[in-house]
Amino acid sequence: MQIRLLWTAGLPIVVAGCLGLVGCRAGQQEPEVLSLSPGSPGTRAATLALGRKQGYDPNIGAAARTLVDDSLDVTLEPMDNAFATDSARLGRGVVVARLINHSRLALKRLGLAPGATTYWLIYRKGDQLLSDFIADAPDSSYDRTGVTTLMHRPKRPWKQSIAQWQSPGDVEGLGAGAMLMAATSSQPWTTCNPFGCCKPAD
């Protein structure tokens, strides 16, 4: 951070400017990382604690609501500053979004417990991005962990967090980035980096 003094009408004005991009994101807070290494004892409780205290964007457009697998009514909300996550933080583990299950059904592939909220944690092991879907439920029976995760590069850096539902694979004539509000086997998709968006591989 560079601090300069400018003088106007004989009074000093403090002007702060960025040197490079590190640490200067227009007032955006850096996303908090997981307190424990993913997969270590206590990771589930740490993920739930982190997920519960974060802010999420519930506004449709940034968030998305759909019928998953034609049966579960689920809202996907991005974490407020998920788009500002740098690679080092993402590698250590960041809860990038939450899934709110409005139905009384469960869905194991996304860690959805009946009527509960599930937190989506992304982290890195070696060269591979992985996701854990941790249900805010009494036990871990609904959780899904170690899900291979894909990151796609946008043409421009993200300026806000966005989450949507996508059809698996490419959509005819639209490419892999096409957003679908309702589709069988929909996959969650979210901004997870200024230059990346993430979704489970399966």
Is residue 174 pLDDT above 80, yes or no? Answer: no
What is the pTM (predicted TM-score) of this model?
Answer: 0.78
- Quote the DSSP letter at residue 175: B
What share of the chain in percent tops pLDDT 70? 77
Q: Residue 77: name the closest of 136, 161, 149, 163 by CA.
A: 163
Q: What is the pLDDT of residues 5-44, one digit of tens each?
A: 434 444 443 333 333 333 333 445 778 999 888 888 899 9
Is residue 48 pLDDT above 90, yes or no? Answer: yes
Q: What is the pLDDT of residues 77-134, one digit of tens each?
A: 999 999 999 999 999 999 999 999 999 999 999 999 999 999 999 999 999 999 999 9
Mean pLDDT of 148-174: 76
With cut-offs at 50, 70 and 90, classify the pLDDT of residue 146.
very high
Q: Is 175 exposed, middle or buried (0-12, 13-18, 19+ CB in 10 A)?
A: exposed
Check residue 168 and give its pLDDT. 59
Mean pLDDT of 155-168: 84
Is residue 178 pLDDT above 70, yes or no? Answer: no
The radius of gyration of the chain's CA atoms, rounded to the nearest angstrom, is 19
Whole-Å CA distances, 75 to 24, 66, 72, 174: 31, 7, 10, 24
